[in-house]
């Protein structure tokens, strides 16, 4: 009986999973590069750029993501900026996660020994060559564990999109639970999250292995 029930609700759960994966994937693709750029902004010598980025990071890290979603979807239309649900969710997630990534990259960048920059300087490498050949490869290795943590958080945070009416995995489970008065859908939801996160952990492990060619 349970097996038949699972078969019945699985399509809607898979639909929800697809939404979860889409939010996850696009947030990661967009927030990582924006995070790198923002981290450079945080270390900028131009005061105004530095303070603007710091303010942005403060707002993003200082208020709940749930609140930010509500503001973007229900609040911005008051100012004349209207996002459809999915775009509102992506916009918020990208801005929020880019701020966390920026802090991680900044920390990674600042942990690189000053001697690395000086060695590059006396070898007459320009700033771009120094960053791409020497600094960024080392930063990536340093930040991988922290980025991995955030990526796993992102999978779970994506469930917050229910608040603006998007049908993600958790919402699909909730709907089935309320309708059929059983916890079985939520058990399935938990299993699917676990599978998604295991995949992320596996990818993280492989990346860390790849970068373990030096110490």
Work out how close the CB of 134 gets to other proteins at its nearest, in angstroms, rounded to a whole number.
5
Work out how close the CB of 115 gets to other proteins at its nearest, in angstroms, rounded to a whole number.
4
Query: What six digits make up the tokens of 28?
Result: 């990661």
Does 209 engage in binding with other proteins (CB under 8 A)? no
By the 8 A CB rule, do 40 and 106 touch?
no
Crossing angle for the helix pair 2-42 and 136-157, to the nearest 10 degrees: 140
Does 122 engage in binding with other proteins (CB under 8 A)? yes
Does 137 engage in binding with other proteins (CB under 8 A)? yes
- Binders in 98-117 for other proteins, by CB under 8 A: 113, 115-116
- Number of residues assigned to the chain: 215
- Binders in 16-45 for other proteins, by CB under 8 A: none
Stretch that binds other proteins, among 12-20, 136-144, 159-167, 179-187 (CB under 8 A): 136-144
Query: What six digits make up the tokens of 63?
Result: 């208020």
Work out how close the CB of 211 gets to other proteins at its nearest, in angstroms, rounded to a whole number.
9
Tell me the C-alpha distance between 22 and 28, whole Å. Answer: 10
Other Cβ atoms within 10 Å of 191 Cβ, number: 11
Does 124 engage in binding with other proteins (CB under 8 A)? yes
């Amino acid at each position: 009986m349970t097996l038949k029930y699972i078969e019945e609700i699985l399509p809607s759960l898979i639909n929800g999973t697809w939404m979860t994966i889409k939010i996850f994937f696009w947030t990661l693709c967009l927030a990582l590069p924006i995070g790198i750029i923002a981290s450079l902004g945080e270390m900028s010598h131009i005061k105004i750029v530095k303070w603007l980025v710091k303010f942005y990071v403060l707002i993003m890290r200082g208020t709940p993501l749930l609140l930010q979603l509500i503001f973007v979807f229900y609040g911005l239309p008051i100012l004349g900026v209207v996002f459809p649900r999915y775009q509102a969710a992506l916009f918020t997630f990208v801005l929020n996660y880019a701020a966390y990534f920026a802090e991680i990259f900044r920390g990674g960048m600042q942990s690189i020994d000053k001697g690395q920059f000086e060695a590059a300087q006396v070898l007459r490498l320009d700033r771009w060559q120094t960053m791409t050949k020497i600094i960024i490869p080392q930063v990536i290795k340093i930040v991988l564990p922290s980025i991995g943590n955030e990526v796993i958080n992102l999978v779970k945070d994506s469930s917050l999109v229910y608040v603006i009416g998007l049908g993600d995995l958790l919402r699909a489970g909730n709907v089935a639970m309320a309708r059929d008065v059983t916890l079985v859908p939520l058990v399935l939801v938990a299993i699917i999250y676990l599978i998604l996160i295991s995949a992320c952990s596996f990818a993280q492990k492989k990346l860390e292995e790849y970068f373990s060619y030096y110490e």
